[in-house]
């Protein structure tokens, strides 16, 4: 069942079509990667979903009901890219304040904060101020504040920036756990290896428009180039064949592209017939990084301002 439906969303600013007709669907309990180069319109899109901006056109449905920013704020947790905490406020008090703004009672807020603090080993921080924390510590606190009210929809913008690998893993595990418990997560980042590791589904936007939408594996299938790597011994001296193009060769390992109309089985047969002992044969799927670069490259790197008279 779709948790969030974004339908033909548009938001034009004076000099830019920040979001230009974007639609997508987010299922319950899925982790959704929102990708795009700088200035693609990700932040504007997120701000509309969190109710900070009103869309010019289009609809946002939450559990098939029209999204109402005033009532639904408590169902969303948003962690913006630039961390936002009061520097002079004590950590415990600050967490309570944000939780209560999301509608929790003081008692519930304290209970949950204590649980989270134990889980993240932050108990001793309660009376410290933000200005005493390191960047990574503030990051953890921000994450706790984002998920404290158990939102159905969690939006994380670059949640791992500034975290060491141990803490990044801690947060990553929490993200998986939250998704398993039914929360839907929108995850926006530029780190493609994190997306491959975490996300079920991705969309890629560029210049305000959606240019890619699908599950991580489907996207990879879509962009595969029939590349394979084969390790065998001995390799035949002459590898020219009508079945494939040889791309590179390194000791016993070759990379090849199978030509249109042929199958991997035929390639294996070819090597078996030449008395090669095959130890490894695998398909090389493109990384999301490659796909991202391929799709975005060629379009100008930074977005130009344009005049919109409409």
- The footprint of other proteins (CB under 8 A) covers 47, 50-52, 54, 69-70, 73-74, 76, 78-80, 82-89, 97-98, 100-102, 145
| Closest separation in Å from C-beta 144 to other proteins | 13
Q: Closer to other proteins at the Cβ: 102 or 210?
A: 102
Q: Closer to other proteins at the Cβ: 57 or 280?
A: 57
Q: Closer to other proteins at the Cβ: 70 or 260?
A: 70
| Closest separation in Å from C-beta 89 to other proteins | 6
CA distance 83 to 251: 49
Helix (H) or strand (E) holding 144: helix 135-147
Q: CA-CA distances (angstroms) from residue 132 to 113, 157, 166?
A: 19, 24, 21
| Closest separation in Å from C-beta 57 to other proteins | 13
| Closest separation in Å from C-beta 102 to other proteins | 5
Residue 177: CB atoms within 10 Å? 10
Q: 31 is written with which tokens?
A: 């982790």
**C-alpha angle 260/278/229, rounded to 5°?**
45
Q: 99 is written with which tokens?
A: 């939780």
Q: Closer to other proteins at the Cβ: 86 or 270?
A: 86
CA distance 284 to 205: 25
Q: 17 is written with which tokens?
A: 């079509």
Q: Closer to other proteins at the Cβ: 79 or 232?
A: 79
| Closest separation in Å from C-beta 121 to other proteins | 23
Question: Helix crossing, 135-147 with 91-101: angle to 10°?
Answer: 30
Q: Closer to other proteins at the Cβ: 104 or 230?
A: 104
Q: Helix or strand or coil: residue 103?
A: coil
| Closest separation in Å from C-beta 84 to other proteins | 4
Q: Which residues contact 218 (CB under 8 A, 6 or more apart)?
A: none
């Amino acid at each position: 069942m779709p948790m969030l439906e974004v339908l033909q969303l548009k938001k034009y600013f004076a000099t830019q079509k920040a979001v230009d007709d974007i639609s997508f669907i987010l299922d319950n309990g899925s982790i959704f990667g929102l990708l795009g180069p700088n200035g693609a319109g990700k932040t504007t899109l997120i701000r509309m979903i969190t109710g900070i901006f009103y869309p010019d056109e289009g609809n946002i449905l939450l559990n098939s009901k029209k999204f109402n920013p005033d009532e639904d704020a408590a169902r969303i947790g948003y962690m913006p890219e630039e961390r936002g905490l009061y520097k002079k406020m004590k950590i415990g008090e600050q967490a309570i304040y944000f939780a209560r703004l999301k509608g929790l009672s003081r008692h519930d807020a304290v209970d949950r904060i204590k649980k989270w603090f134990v889980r993240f080993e932050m108990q001793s921080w309660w009376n410290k101020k933000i200005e005493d924390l390191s960047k990574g510590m503030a990051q953890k606190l921000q994450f706790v504040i984002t998920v404290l009210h158990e939102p159905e929809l969690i939006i994380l913008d670059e949640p791992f920036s500034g975290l060491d690998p141990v803490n990044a893993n801690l947060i990553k595990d929490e993200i998986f756990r939250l998704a398993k418990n039914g929360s839907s997560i929108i995850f926006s980042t530029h780190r493609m290896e994190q997306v491959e590791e975490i996300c079920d589904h991705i969309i890629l936007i560029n210049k305000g428009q959606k240019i890619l939408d699908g599950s991580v594996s489907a996207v990879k299938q879509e962009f595969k180039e029939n590349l394979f790597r084969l390790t065998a011994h001995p390799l035949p001296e002459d590898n020219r064949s009508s079945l494939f193009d040889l791309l590179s060769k390194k000791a016993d390992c070759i990379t090849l592209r199978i030509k249109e109309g042929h199958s991997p089985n035929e390639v294996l047969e070819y090597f078996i017939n030449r008395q090669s002992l095959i130890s490894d044969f695998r398909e090389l799927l493109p990384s999301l990084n490659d796909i991202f670069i391929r799709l975005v490259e060629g379009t100008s790197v930074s977005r130009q301002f344009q005049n919109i008279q409409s």
